[in-house]
Every structure is written in C-alpha cells, then in structure tokens.
Amino acid sequence: MELEIGKVPNELLEKIVFSNITYKRDEVLARPGIGEDTGVMDLGGELCVVSTDPITGATKGLGALAIHVSCNDAATRGAEPVGILLTILCPPGTTEEDLELIMKDAGRAAGEARVEIIGGHTEVTDAVTRIVISSTVIARMKREHFKGYQGISSGDKVVLTKWIGLEGTHILASELGARLKEHITQEELNEAKELSQYISVVREGLLAKNHGVLYMHDVTEGGIYGAIWETGEATGKGVTLYEEKLPIKDVTKKICHILEIDPRKLISSGSMIMVVPERNADALLRDLDKNGVKATIVGEITHRGIESAIGDRKVPIPPPGSDELYRALQL
C-alpha cells in the first residue's frame, strides 16, 4: 500500500516501526511510543533527553525551524537543551549563499534557544529535490523531574499555550504569499510570516515543570486534533477538547478559509499541550502569563474516549492523518 505524504500513520508506526525495535538497554527510561516526543536515558548523573526531527514542509526559514522543533520536543519533558546535531542534505544546484542563509538562521535560533550546534553532516546529493534538514537535540533533566503518567486522573486540566495552527500559518504565508495576497492585506501576510517568533516552547516547558505538570506534548503534524488524540494514547486516558475554547489568530482563520483547510488539523509547533492537576492549573496559567506566554484551558482528562465537545454535542476525534499543510501546498 502506498503511503500518504506526511507522518506515517500511528497504526503503521506500531505495526512496522515500533514492533521491530526489540533490543532494550537498562539505561533507557523512556522509549518510542505514540504521543512520546523524546527518549530519556540514565547515564549515571542527570538524565539525558534526546529527540530528532526533519524539516520537510517548508523551504524558507529552514535553519531556525530545525533548531526550534527539536528543542521543543526536549521541552515536553521540561528538559534544558544543551547540544544539537544538524544533517543538511542539499540537491544539486544549491549555492553557497543558500547554505550560508540556512546556517545564519540556525545560528541565530540556537542562540535564542541557548543550545550549541555541536556537529552534524552537510552534503549535496541527488537523493533529494529540495533542501532537507534533520536535527537531533541532546538535553539534560534532573532525575527528580522524570515522571511516568500514573498520576494522571479524570478531571485533570488540559492547557494549551499560544494559538493553534502557528507553524502552519507561518509556512503557508511564506510559501504561498503571492497567492494569498489576492485575498488578504500585506499587513496580515506579514503578521502570518512573523508567527515564526512564537515557534519555540522551551520557555513554557521549563516553567511548567515547577507546577506539577503530568504530561506535555508539542502540537506538530496533525494539529490540535492529532495532539489531543496522541495525548489520550500516550496517557491511556480519555480526553475531552472544548472546541469553543481553542485560541486561534484571525489571520490563521482567514488563511485556512481561503485554502479550504481545517486549522484544527494544521501543524502547530509553538503550541504545547500540558496536562496539569486542576488544583495547579490557575497557578500555572498565572506563571505563564507573567512570563509572556498566553495559555488557555482547552479540555480535561476523562475516564475514556477522545472527543471534541461542540456545545452539548461530543464527537470522537479520529487518529491523525496527513497534515492539512501538505494538502494546501499541493493545491
């Protein structure tokens, strides 16, 4: 069966990828799984948190995106990024100027994330038709901050930082600007492009670990619907998403309306899901707000069922498919 563009579906990850990872080591504390953004290893001191990600849906701002998406995964554990490895695959025809722009972008973003680029690989190859970057982050976390999900219970609140569709809006504005300018103003287009400034979730991840947060997951491919479904899968709990509470920028609504795509299924690096005990939710929201991070309670943990609540009606949220970003870029 031919695979769709985008992340491999979760059932195939279970069937083909995870099932073939059979050798285990005692040092590994957190292993691959649906809704898991990181691996965690005990190397004898502080815990080592690692994650890797490619940048495939964008052609502009690649260097910064590569840094931030990997650091964001580490932040879901409340871990501090220390080093990052970059693999850059360039198609024939790539210029020195192209490569320099990527590395200037990456260097600036690394400074913002306080992470050092410690190695990687760079080559020109006809195996790719456009530049592809894969980044691997190495982060550290104190042993006492590593938790399983056993403490999650019905009634715990689901907090979302910033707005849905963040990264997707930025990419669509950057890639399809000429087309969108026929329908939105230059100011709106600039606003959409500038959403890249919100892509990092490292700050909120480090803040959240001080408020008894039980689970964190950054909202990437599949959008908020995909992230909520993966949250239920990872924690083994039900989740109800309050549809009317979802924060969304007006420019995201406009762009998604123009392109006839669903912002709830649009990639959203820059947003973080946090599951927190109800008693801690208000303090978490206040601390995030004090540090300049918008946050909203958008749902709660339940006994069973992964659902979206629209008024009095509840609709099951299905497993995520191909992200709306790819559909929009192919139109």
- Judge: domain 157-330, CATH 3.90.650.10: yes
Alpha carbon of residue 161 to chain centroid: 12
Beta-bridge partners for 47: 42, 141
* pTM tops 0.85, yes or no: no
> What pLDDT is recorded for position 4?
80
Q: Provide the residue ranges of all domains of the chain, joining segments of one domain with +.
A: 24-145, 157-330
Long-range CB contacts for residues 94-101, cutoff 8 Å, separation at least 24: 94/124, 94/131, 98/131, 101/63
- Whether the CB-CB separation of 135 and 85 falls below 8 Å is answered with yes
| The residue type at 254 | K
Give the Cα separation of 161 and 1 in Å (integer): 37
pLDDT in tens, 102-144: 999 999 999 999 999 999 999 999 999 999 999 999 999 888 8
pLDDT in tens, 222-259: 999 999 999 999 999 999 999 999 999 999 999 999 99
> What pLDDT is recorded for position 57?
67
Report the range of poorest mean pLDDT among 57-71, 110-124, 160-174. Answer: 57-71
Mean of pLDDT values over 37-66: 86
pLDDT band per the 50, 70, 90 thresholds, residue 10: confident
- Whether the CB-CB separation of 35 and 231 falls below 8 Å is answered with yes
pLDDT band per the 50, 70, 90 thresholds, residue 331: low
- Judge: domain 24-145, CATH 3.30.1330.10: yes
Mean of pLDDT values over 318-330: 91
- Whether the CB-CB separation of 87 and 128 falls below 8 Å is answered with no
Mean of pLDDT values over 201-220: 92
Q: What is the mean pLDDT of the chain?
A: 92
